[in-house]
């Protein structure tokens, strides 16, 4: 994205915190995997949102209306020896122009330079509670200013609410990025469907997903892929992905790529052998009808909870019609909570730089109103494991789990399903698995 996009975000955040405040946002550090091996570096999402900078150990300071510099970044310096081992660094000299930031310092000078930036400010905003060690450093800088008998912040504000509310509304550039991520993820789900056959392993399908992600420029998954066949589909966050794909089972794949830090999150459920059994057909079609009702309720001025409520009513009525729930009406069943053991999770969450993205779900105790630019998932599911809780359910239904999930952008006149290219109609899935692309 253009550096002006990040500059605009910083300006909006500074307007939100006010002219006599200062905000400090730390980037991520490298994480040790084991021994002397580290995980691939992934920047902390809040820091990336404000800078677009993807190197470790950096810190951003925003001081609205400061005479010299409103935006300051501390980062690793150029170091030819270190760069030969771990890659090229941007460096202090190049950072202001490349990032559109007013000034830059070596991160090693932070204890000396950062107290100067908070001096004279009334309120200090930071993501308190996220990193205890960094919180302590913040207060050490305040104590340094105090020890010099200089004016210092006396009010401490968690930056999360003001910053995370900015992230809820996606800009046009973000929307385009998320569309590209969803398109890649749709290709990956299609690849998994067309390569599926009895006798393979769940991890074979996971490998197909990862290969398609990387082939299209998305090196990482947005989260560990769920490839859950048979009764494994009744486990919400199943990630072992090591079972054999058995003839006659369904397989549920919940997987999405991360493209330039933006997540996609898509779930499809399909038959291992390419043909739905009658029971699988009925439960899948019910879940699909519920998802369509939920997506239809995504539009400006509707509430975040509306998709869940729409899906819950369709699912509950369908389970009554299939004699899985014994009740006279949807309202009676919901009042008695009879649907809860089959519908074990909410229907939606925010999506963005994080797969479970930041932002409030409620406003003044009520589900918040949807606005253009918001992106949420819509993912109803039905789960009927073979356990003691399901003993009253006919055996033909037990061991089946179905979830269908799409990424949905709220638009001015309704919504757009970003992940629409991933097949989900029964006939389309069976045709694809029988005939390929």
Catalytic residue numbers, as ranges: 36, 237, 254, 265, 345, 349, 356, 379, 383, 403, 405
Q: By the 8 A CB rule, do 229 and 202 touch?
A: yes
Q: Which of 163, 128, 205, 114 is nearest to 16 (CA)?
A: 163
The token pair that represents 393 in the structure block: 């359910």
DSSP element (H, E) containing 3: helix 3-17
- What letters, b where the CB count within 10 A reaches 16 and e where it falls short, cover 411-424? eeeebebbbeebbb
Q: By the 8 A CB rule, do 422 and 386 touch?
A: no
Number of Cβ atoms within 10 Å of the Cβ of 78? 14
SS3 193: helix
Long-range Cβ pairs for the range 234-243 (8 Å, 24+):
234/383, 234/384, 234/385, 234/399, 234/400, 234/401, 235/401, 236/344, 236/345, 240/202, 241/201, 241/202, 241/203, 241/205, 241/206, 242/201, 242/202, 242/203, 243/201, 243/202
Q: Which of 252, 292, 267 is nearest to 400 (CA)?
A: 252
The token pair that represents 415 in the structure block: 């919504």
Which residues touch 7 (CB under 8 Å, ≥6 apart)? 71, 100
Pairwise CA distance, residues 314 & 291, whole Å: 9
Pairwise CA distance, residues 62 & 72, whole Å: 7
Pairwise CA distance, residues 44 & 41, whole Å: 10
Work out the burial of residue 397: count CB atoms within 10 Å of its CB; fewer than 13 is exposed, 13-18 middle, 19 or more buried: buried
Helices vs. strands in the chain: H and E counts, helices first? 13, 21
In Å, how far are 34, 88, 310, 374 from 85, measured between CA atoms? Answer: 18, 9, 54, 41
Largest Cα–Cα distance in the chain?
Answer: 78
- What letters, b where the CB count within 10 A reaches 16 and e where it falls short, cover 2-13? eeeebbebbeeb
């Amino acid at each position: 994205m253009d550096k002006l996009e990040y500059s605009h975000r910083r300006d909006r955040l500074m307007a939100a915190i006010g002219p006599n405040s200062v905000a400090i946002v730390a980037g991520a550090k490298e994480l040790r995997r084991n021994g002397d091996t580290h995980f691939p570096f992934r920047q902390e999402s809040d820091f990336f949102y404000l800078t677009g900078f993807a190197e470790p150990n950096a810190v951003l300071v925003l001081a609205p209306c400061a005479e010299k510099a409103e935006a300051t970044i501390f980062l690793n310096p150029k170091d030819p020896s270190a760069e030969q081992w771990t890659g090229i660094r941007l460096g202090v000299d190049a950072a202001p122009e490349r990032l559109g930031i007013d000034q830059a310092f070596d991160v090693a000078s932070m204890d000396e330079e950062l107290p100067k930036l908070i001096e004279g400010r009334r309120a200090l905003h930071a993501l308190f509670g996220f990193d205890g060690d960094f919180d302590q450093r913040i207060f050490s800088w305040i104590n340094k200013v105090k020890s010099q008998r200089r004016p210092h912040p006396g009010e401490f504000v968690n930056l999360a609410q003001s910053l995370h509310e900015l992230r809820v509304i996606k800009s046009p550039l973000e929307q385009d990025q998320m569309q590209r991520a969803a398109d890649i993820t749709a290709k990956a789900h299609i690849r998994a469907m067309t390569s599926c056959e009895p006798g393979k392993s769940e991890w074979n399908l996971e490998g197909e997903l990862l290969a398609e992600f990387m082939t299209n420029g998305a090196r990482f998954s947005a989260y560990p892929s769920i490839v859950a066949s048979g009764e494994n589909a009744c486990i919400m966050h199943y990630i072992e992905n090591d079972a054999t794909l058995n003839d006659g089972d369904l397989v549920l794949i919940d997987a999405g790529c991360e493209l330039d830090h933006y997540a996609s999150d898509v779930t499809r459920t399909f038959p291992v052998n390419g043909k739905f059994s009658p029971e699988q057909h009925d439960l899948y079609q019910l879940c699909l009808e519920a998802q369509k009702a939920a997506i239809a309720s995504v539009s400006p001025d509707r509430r975040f909870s509306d998709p869940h409520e729409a899906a819950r009513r369709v699912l509950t009525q369908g389970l009554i019609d299939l004699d899985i729930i014994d009740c006279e009406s949807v309202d009676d069943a919901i009042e008695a909570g009879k649907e809860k053991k089959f519908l074990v999770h909410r229907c939606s969450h925010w999506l963005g730089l994080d797969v479970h993205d930041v932002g409030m779900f409620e406003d003044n105790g009520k589900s918040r109103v949807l606005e253009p630019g918001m992106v949420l998932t819509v993912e109803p599911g039905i789960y009927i494991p073979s356990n003691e809780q399901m003993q009253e359910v006919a055996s033909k239904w037990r061991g089946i789990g179905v979830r269908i999930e799409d990424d949905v952008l709220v638009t001015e006149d309704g919504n757009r399903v970003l992940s629409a290219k991933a097949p989900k109609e029964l006939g389309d899935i069976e045709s694809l698995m029988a005939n390929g692309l």
